[in-house]
Amino acid sequence: MEDYKEVRELLKPRRDIKASDELRRKVRRAFKEERKNRLLKRWVFGGISLSAVAAVLLLVLIPSGMSAKEILSQAIEAMCNYESIEMVVDVRTRPVENFRYIGLDDEFVTHHIDISASDSVLSWSIDKGGRVAMSNGHDIYTWIPSLKLGFHLTDTGNENVLGYMANLLTPRRILEAELQNCISNRDAQYNVSKSGPDITLTVHSAPQGNFENPYLLNSSISESENVRRYVIDAASGKLKSASVSVLSGQREIVVLKVLSISYNDHGNAPVLPEGIRFVEAESQPTGLIGLSAEEAASAILNAFSEWDVTVLDKVMMHEVSEAAYREQFSGSKLISVGRAFTSGAGNTVFVPYTLKLRDGTARHHNMALQKTDSEGWIVVGGL
């Protein structure tokens, strides 16, 4: 419980706060009405320190007899007693896409998540069929079974690989993560309610990033206007379910739902599969230096014609280009390249292109480029 001392201290009110029934009703009405909601946020953020924001909001909204400190402490403690957690989660995505990606028009893809905690080491695996990832608590491995090819990462966090899915690896920390987000993110609204045996935390967040060009809008949970709902068992403090919906126009589309959670006393660390070749992801190519994004994209796409590895090996790992792209793109001809643009929360630059493949079909897409530490352009997607 030492890890959560800071969270408990943060939630401790600076004075004995007890909201009246009338104040509770006013706050509920304020959250339903946009104008009043803006006034409430201005009052909260202007009248007290940020470190007390979550405590005040949650204490006001929680029904009589309950406190945020008690709820969070109970949930955290309850989930610390289990060494193994198994989850089944449905996500609107594609089986081979990365774990961050969502598609509002895609079908649900089932993810099987196994989590094992032992001696403060968190091991996990996530299998979505076309792509798998696992960690032994130190290194992360991710691979595509159909290509028999994967990556070995030694210096990256779970969230860099999994996006929002990283929260599900440590259910006891979900409320802690949401609390930190509540303090630092003024574009999120929080509500805690109790109905029967369940406590529900609802979070409404604005999309994170720059969407002057909306290309990446709604392509990930963080890059969408979304509503996250967490249901906690009031008696045991265990997380019972979670879901995420994206608000698009007048629609609320469920993009993630936890179908089941199983808490066990003992778990087994995941084991790497045989027959997969793992590439060291930290050994990234040097990139194309001294070119604009459009020039770099043109050089890369023109290199497809004769499959010029003197260019391609600078922008993609050789093993990846050979396994994933050579068969499809070798011999293709570049038709056009458009103006580069940015979208979303990352540091990726997108370049529109049209490519004529060997079979005569045209491919229209946006090449995703990023710069290395040495200022060279490398390909990170869009092929």
The four Cα atoms 345, 349, 350, 353 give a dihedral, to 10 degrees, of 180
Residues 248, 113: Cα–Cα separation, whole Å:
28
Q: 10 Å Cβ neighbour count for 21?
A: 8
Percent of the chain at pLDDT > 70 equals 73
Question: 271 and 125 in one domain?
Answer: yes
pLDDT at 21 over 60: no
Q: 367 or 27: which carries more pLDDT confidence?
A: 367
Is residue 275 left, alpha or beta, with left meaning phi > 0 and alpha meaning psi from -120 to 50? left
Question: Are 138 and 85 contained in the same domain?
Answer: yes
Residue 39 has a pLDDT of: 29
Domain boundary among 264, 282, 300: 282
- To the question of pTM greater than 0.85 for the whole model, the response is no
For residue range 242-257, list pLDDT tens digits in order: 999 999 988 999 999 9
Residues 367-377 have a mean pLDDT of 93
In the predicted model, what is the mean pLDDT of residues 216-244? 89
Examine residue 181 and state whether it is found in any structural domain, yes or no: yes
**Residue 157: predicted pLDDT:** 85
- Based on the fold, state whether residues 340 and 254 are members of the same structural domain: no
Residue 222 structural domain: 81-282
Domain closes at, from 256, 282, 308: 282
Question: Edge-to-edge strands of the sheet including 288-289?
Answer: 288-289, 376-381, 362-371, 349-356, 333-337
User: For residue 94, which amino acid is it?
Assistant: R
Q: Look at residue 23 and tell me if it is in a domain.
A: no
- Reported as a pLDDT band with limits 50, 70 and 90, residue 267 is low
Residue with tokens 């939630």: 11
In the block, residue with structure tokens 């989660």: 89
Biggest CA–CA distance in the chain, Å, is 75
Determine the Cα–Cα distance for residues 114 and 301; give it in Å rounded to an integer. 40
CATH number at residue 225: 2.50.20.10
Same domain as 290, residue 204: no
Identify the domain boundary among 231, 257, 282.
Answer: 282
Closest C-alpha to 121, from 106, 137, 135: 137
Give a yes or no: residue 52 inside a domain. Answer: no
Does residue 72 form part of some domain?
Answer: no
Listed residue (356, 352, 354) closest to 338, CA to CA: 352
SS3 8: helix
pLDDT-derived band at 49, boundaries 50, 70, 90: very low
Q: 201 and 317: one domain?
A: no
Q: Residues 60-95, buried b or exposed e (16+ Cβ, 10 A)?
A: bbbeeebbbbebbbbbbebbeebbbbebebbbbbbb
The dihedrals phi and psi of 99, each to the nearest 5 degrees, come to -75, -15
DSSP β-bridge partners for residue 364: 354
Question: Do 250 and 112 have their domain in common?
Answer: yes
Q: What is the CATH number of the domain that holds 363?
A: 3.10.450.50
Average pLDDT, integer, range 88-93: 96
* Domain identity same for 291 and 256: no
By DSSP bridging, strand 277-280 and strand 149-153 are parallel
Tell me if 153 sits within 8 A of 280, measured CB to CB.
Answer: no
Residue 348 lies inside a defined structural domain of this protein: yes
Host H or E run for residue 268: none
Please state, in angstroms and rounded to a whole number, the distance separating the CA atoms of residues 301 and 319: 18
Length of the chain as a residue count: 383
Cβ count within 10 A of residue 308: 13
- DSSP characters over 28-85: HHHHHSHHHHHHHHHHHHHHS-GGGHHHHHHHHHSPTT--HHHHHHHHHHHHHT-SEE
Q: What is the pLDDT of residue 79?
A: 62
Q: Are residues 294 and 318 in the same domain?
A: yes
Residues 324 and 274 reside in one and the same domain: no
Per-chain mean pLDDT for the chain: 79
Residue 127 · residue 191 · CB < 8 Å: no
**Residue 334 pairs with which residues in a beta bridge?**
355
Residue 82 banded pLDDT, cuts 50, 70, 90: low
CA distance 90 to 105: 14
Q: Per-residue confidence at 152, pLDDT binned at 50, 70, 90?
A: very high
Residue 186 parent element (H or E): none
Q: Are residues 216 and 302 in the same domain?
A: no
Q: Give helix 53-61 / helix 21-32 axis angle, nearest 10°.
A: 110
Question: Of 66-80, 81-95, 230-244, 321-335, where does mean pLDDT reach its minimum?
Answer: 66-80
Q: Which of 24-28, 170-174, 287-291 has the highest mean pLDDT?
A: 287-291
Domains contained in the chain, number = 2
Inform me whether the pLDDT recorded for 303 exceeds 90: yes
**One domain, residues 178 and 235:** yes
For the cut 50, the answer to whether the pLDDT of residue 73 exceeds it is yes
How would DSSP label each residue in 73-135?
A: HHHHHHHHT-SEEEEEEEEES-TTS-TT---TTSPEEEEEEEEEEETTEEEEEEE-SS-EEEE
